[in-house]
Chain A
């Protein structure tokens, strides 16, 4: 049974942010509750107030503006999984969303909740990183915009300041000719390692490369140094480079051994998934496979 609390129902972002700033540690943001209510049930947190943001209309939409897909913080995983705009413009995100939790978690949990809870074992962030997603934050001193990578700062930790609310995720679709893929493996119904890759091909070489990996360490990471190494190579060379990248992945991802697998195992699986994702996107970019 959950400890008693009170619920506030702000109808604007400014009102929600003001309540969060006023109540400080006594209040938490409540959207889907998929993670929050579990923490409360297990006594890990005991908030006095839940600030329900689901009655703020502008936080619950998916739209395209200035070429970017804008996804409100309170949009559920299930809606992202089934939304045609997301499927056409951000297929790797659709693939990531398809595997979040289970159908009930996807019906309840939200994108903002997932990113703000910052569970290391999460899927959407990894996919969003290869799209160069940014997050819109609103707090007592106004709005600001951060690249997703700067928002994800560690295990269950984000760049959110007191009183600040994640309002929207903005995702620029990949340029013409790019293809993206998302792959993961799971144990005990939890994502154990996941990767996302996006490439463009020119004259048989990987002209553009973006790689990301998640679940292995404190938070999902873009693998910028490996991208630099791989860029300009053929797919065969790229696969060989990724196979040799385990020392780099170990340093970059800070892998944590846990019930889902040892640190070396997770790094190994990450490199395997990266090679598979690269092969998949290269095949798609060459038009030898359907998206």
Chain B
């Protein structure tokens, strides 16, 4: 936290209490700390990936009170009092989330770097709209880039989960 120009450490910290994947975390956060750094470096949840750091690629997508945000560009203190869900919060013990099962069945990843963000964006979509069309999925996932080009498999995985839910 050293600013090379000012030669000073953080100028202000805020005490925050958040719930991360159902577990309470509380402590001091430098006001300039972004949620991505808090999750990865201090809480140790490295499933959320650092990507473009410009809110474009979606690799760092997490849910705050159910809403997808770019954790790279979201000040950690804003999450005070809120519930944060990361990819680590999807599975129940050894039982994968239906979306994770769907992604595996459809091989909806090649390198896998974008996958945590894709999963979290998809989870938010299904919570808002449990029966999205292919078009709804494409529009919602516009901001989650997959450079391996797994988009058709990602959409198929989500549509399978939609069908499972209907059945």
Contact = CB atoms under 8 A, between A and B. Distances in A.
A102 B70 CA distance: 10
Interface size class of A (residues with CB under 8 A): 20 to 34
B107 to A, nearest CB: 24
B60 to A, nearest CB: 9
A104 B124 CA distance: 11
Majority DSSP secondary structure for residues of A touching B? mixed
A88 interface: no
Interface in B119-154: 121, 124, 139-140, 142-144
A102 to B, nearest CB: 2
A1 interface: yes
Interface in B1-15: 1, 3, 5-6, 8-12, 14
A5 B53 CA distance: 19
Interface in A196-227: none
A105 B60 CA distance: 13
A7 B32 CA distance: 9
A260 interface: no
Which one of A6, A78, A103, A107 has the highest number of Cβ atoms from chain B below 10 Å of its Cβ?
A: A103
Contacts of A2: 32-34
Interface in A1-27: 1-7
B142 A108 contact: no
A272 interface: no
Which one of B31, B56, B73 has the highest number of Cβ atoms from chain A below 10 Å of its Cβ?
A: B73
B133 to A, nearest CB: 15
Interface string B34-53: 10010000000000000001
Interface string A261-272: 000000000000
Interface stretch (B61-69, B82-90, B93-101, B157-165): B61-69
B113 interface: no
Nearest to B120: A104
Contacts of B23: none
A147 to B, nearest CB: 30
Interface stretch (A33-41, A148-156, A173-181): A33-41
Contacts of B144: 102
A3 B30 CA distance: 11
Nearest to A78: B67
Nearest to A48: B11
A101 B73 contact: no
Given A102-B143, A107-B69, A3 B74 contact: no
A34 B55 CA distance: 8
A189 interface: yes
Interface in B99-127: 121, 124
Nearest to A82: B128
Given A4-B10, A5-B32, 11 more contacts: A1-B32, A2-B33, A3-B32, A4-B1, A5-B12, A6-B31, A7-B77, A33-B73, A98-B139, A103-B121, A103-B142
Interface of B: 1, 3, 5-6, 8-12, 14, 30-34, 37, 53-56, 58, 61, 67-70, 73-75, 77, 121, 124, 139-140, 142-144
